[in-house]
Structure 1
């Protein structure tokens, strides 16, 4: 695979909302407080203890988790002015708004967020930056997107220690250098966030060193930061580390990283695993695993995986996918205006394989292909597909009966198949199969003939194409 376009493939990360619950000042080394002692202080009106008690109850640390009671203590602490508790109250109302769409909760969430911002909560300041970055509109409240204000809040949060704010500011300045001030550079903020352990920033810093976008290329540093991000489960970093391992021939290690990325829903990782199990010569082929991962990638919208899956199933003898593989090859014949006859020929090899297994769409396709050179074979294929209920084949069979090609001319049978085809064609398919011009080839029927033809069509369809005129 060509990795020169890393930017187009991997610049996919969206803004990550601050939705996790943090211990005070994001200090992961802070010891978890004793529940009984904390509760005693909280009941005595200590605002900080009330906030800490809320976290204990929310996260079930030293006590059974109780989100409702946690919220009560957060509210008490917030009312006393605790910034972190105010943020939690804002989060509570935001979740209520998201689940109920009640604008009252949305407005309360924003108002408590403002209070928390003013009190210095970096969680709140980061989220406020995201609100101004994307805008907010609910009944009774509208915040227009404003990148300058977003940068203002990200800067405040970054100064208060938010790695996510450093990361968000880096992305914002990277996309809009004019927002930088006093010698600011997005690379500096990427580095700060990465050094604080932000996995998304570590990934992006790896991409920057890999592409040399904001600094000189440095493959070693790129892989170093990618590895750090991958160790924290950043799916795109896991993928990039896997590609490096694959390049070094460490296939099993690469598969482990691809699998970790795939487990997080990254379609490209599923696709790569599928290719390895199907084609790689450094590992035993496993077509079952290849199909599984190509299917997963297809379900996630990966177009190349869909094509590879079709090819794999076609090679395993699946008639439907042999037909679709023929379609793929036929379409490629016309790609870019440069016609490649070998693809056209290969397409009909697969159509024939599918048709020989009785797949009706392939039978119809082969019928069209053979119509001029071998009308008898075309007639046989159309008839087989028509008896399986395929509307285009029924129409083509009707034309051959009307013209008397490869069979005796039979107006009644021709019109029977015409009526059946028109009744089974997809809704809205007004112009398929050349209907608008071909209809004029059917001679008008008198009233008696029309009644007879309609009866023939009804009997044919009611018997599931077992008893049909002309067969």
Structure 2
């Protein structure tokens, strides 16, 4: 599901690790009453001698917008030992209310209040441990201001449990989050769900969101899914942007609610406007593709860019691909590479692989085998298995070191031994080409045979080595049978080679109509050799009615794709069409092209053209073999 981050990203979590806490500073406060106003007057009178009165006066000043004065009163009361004041001072430092923001001071005062029994303070101390804002006591400093030291779930668990037992609904939700997201030694999903339920019953939006996610994880029926959606909707109504995104995703895919793409996109837009980067990406993709919404490439690119700048690596990759492909937006390869690098550095493996491929083949950027190797290795480190094949092909073309060759062979050998058929084929290539290991055609054949059980490309190559007798005894009958399996699976080279065997009767009886059918399939994939073979069949001499018009057409198509003998035959057909200098002028370049590719008969044709009268007409001549 798109809303579940396999890396455990906090984008869809309850508590955002590393984010500064921003909750309303006046939770759990009683409403103002006439009696409260009278108490405020009394507090002003006795504040100089009562810490609790100073605390109440400080809170009143904060509520009235006089933050600096309020903080002054609260600080005095906090130093006097008032637990509520200590908690409030910690909150002021945490949020920069009436005093410059300072996480270290916030943590110090919150911890004092937490030790004094304040459930609210215990919650915040636990949250700061989860964020990594409090570091272990044995380090040089107890608190840090500028960067996270990493979450300390064990310390957080203690304070969150105390807050939860003390009745803090937020503490209950945080405890559940720790029991879900902490290390294996403390995770307990059933207990976490119970705490989420208690928090949700108390009306805590984070508890509702957590309960909804917990229900989704174990949902086996529509009823449980609907319950999950109900809880997440409560969190969304309370203003949690992530919950709004989740409702959009559930609506798009019809989980616990009727599928409605139009409604989902409306919700994605609302979440995107609240800076939920996953929603920005989903909306951007929909606009770029015109999926459920009118296509708008410019707006789509804008949302993808916003998500990318907010740290969404996949969105950055999509922006890069938009610039690389061009189209409605002009291509900009410098921008494309910059965005792809941003995505790859953000841990998005497909972007690293794309960069490796770009530098490998020199598309849009200069060919650079070192950079290709770097980015492909990065993609492999990020878990992209396909990049191992790209890396291996780079090594096969002569890039990399002997160490790279050994590493490539080791990857494929290890995977092949586990039964991976694709790896078995690639391991066979290592033996066939001597990549990271001594060349051994017999072992190459053995691994190809294993891979041929389920890999069509391996079926083609195993068929070929049987026909050639390379690493195995020659066996054209069996080789032809393997080619048939590969051809039926759509391997174009197998279709063409099998077609040639059917024409020549190799490995079995000749079958010219069957060969024609195979060549026709291959031409659908643009195979020039198959086009030439069809031209040869229709040229005559086979068990197929000759058709000079079809022969000419197929020779032309193959010649235009660079097939040398097709260029020769098409030139001959041009000479045989009709009298006139025009055909001679058209034929000459095709003979020259064929001669440049080493066709000696083309040289003879050019010599003959130089000697014969320019208007002489003659039929296409010369042998024309399919193979």
TM over 0.5: yes
2:172 is aligned to 50
How far residue 54 of structure 1 moved from its aligned partner, in angstroms, is 3.0
Structure 1 unaligned regions, length at least 5: 1-13, 336-342, 369-395, 397-471
Change (3 A) 1:323 1:49: closer
d(CA) in 2 for partners of 1:182, 1:207: 16
Question: Does the CA contact (< 8 Å) of 2:209 and 2:232 recur in 1?
Answer: yes
Change (3 A) 1:270 1:201: same
**Alignment of 1:17 onto 2:4:** yes
d(CA) in 2 for partners of 1:323, 1:296: 16
**Alignment of 1:105 onto 2:224:** yes
1:118 is aligned to 237
2:19 is aligned to 28
Question: Does the CA contact (< 8 Å) of 2:373 and 2:400 recur in 1?
Answer: no
CA-to-partner distance for each residue in 1:246-298, whole Å, 9 max, x for gaps? 45565455334323323454343111111123322453475443334456899
Question: Does the CA contact (< 8 Å) of 2:464 and 2:479 recur in 1?
Answer: no
1:232 is aligned to 346
Alignment of 1:46-195 (within 5 A): 46-60=168-182, 64-97=186-219, 101-136=220-255, 143-176=257-290, 179=293, 185-195=299-309
1:275 is aligned to 393
d(CA) in 2 for partners of 1:367, 1:84: 66
1:260 is aligned to 378
2:333 is aligned to 219
How far residue 221 of structure 1 moved from its aligned partner, in angstroms, is 1.7
Alignment of 1:317-356 (within 5 A): 317-319=440-442, 321-322=444-445, 347=464, 351-356=468-473
Question: Does the CA contact (< 8 Å) of 2:251 and 2:260 recur in 1?
Answer: yes
Q: TM-score scaled to structure 2, two decimals?
A: 0.45
Q: CA RMSD in A?
A: 4.3
User: Higher mean Cα deviation, 238-247 or 306-315?
Assistant: 306-315
User: Higher mean Cα deviation, 162-171 or 145-154?
Assistant: 145-154
CA-to-partner distance for each residue in 1:416-468, whole Å, 9 max, x for gaps? xxxxxxxxxxxxxxxxxxxxxxxxxxxxxxxxxxxxxxxxxxxxxxxxxxxxx
CA-to-partner distance for each residue in 1:386-445, whole Å, 9 max, x for gaps? xxxxxxxxxx9xxxxxxxxxxxxxxxxxxxxxxxxxxxxxxxxxxxxxxxxxxxxxxxxx
CA-to-partner distance for each residue in 1:1-23, whole Å, 9 max, x for gaps? xxxxxxxxxxxxx9453574435
Question: Does the CA contact (< 8 Å) of 1:132 and 1:150 recur in 2?
Answer: yes
Q: TM-score scaled to structure 1, two decimals?
A: 0.57
Bigger RCO of structures 1 and 2 (CA < 8 A, at least 6 apart): 1
How far residue 179 of structure 1 moved from its aligned partner, in angstroms, is 2.0
How far residue 222 of structure 1 moved from its aligned partner, in angstroms, is 1.4
Question: Does the CA contact (< 8 Å) of 1:279 and 1:285 recur in 2?
Answer: no
d(CA) in 2 for partners of 1:239, 1:72: 43
How far residue 167 of structure 1 moved from its aligned partner, in angstroms, is 0.4
CA-to-partner distance for each residue in 1:140-178, whole Å, 9 max, x for gaps? x6x443210110121122122210010011111222267
d(CA) in 2 for partners of 1:302, 1:219: 37
Aligned pair count? Answer: 330
Change (3 A) 1:177 1:277: closer
d(CA) in 2 for partners of 1:49, 1:236: 39
Alignment of 1:357-396 (within 5 A): 362=475, 365=478
Change (3 A) 1:277 1:48: same
CA-to-partner distance for each residue in 1:91-134, whole Å, 9 max, x for gaps? 1111112xxx3554333222222322332332222222222222
d(CA) in 2 for partners of 1:94, 1:307: 41
Q: Over alpha carbons, which structure has the higher Rg?
A: 2
d(CA) in 2 for partners of 1:300, 1:323: 14
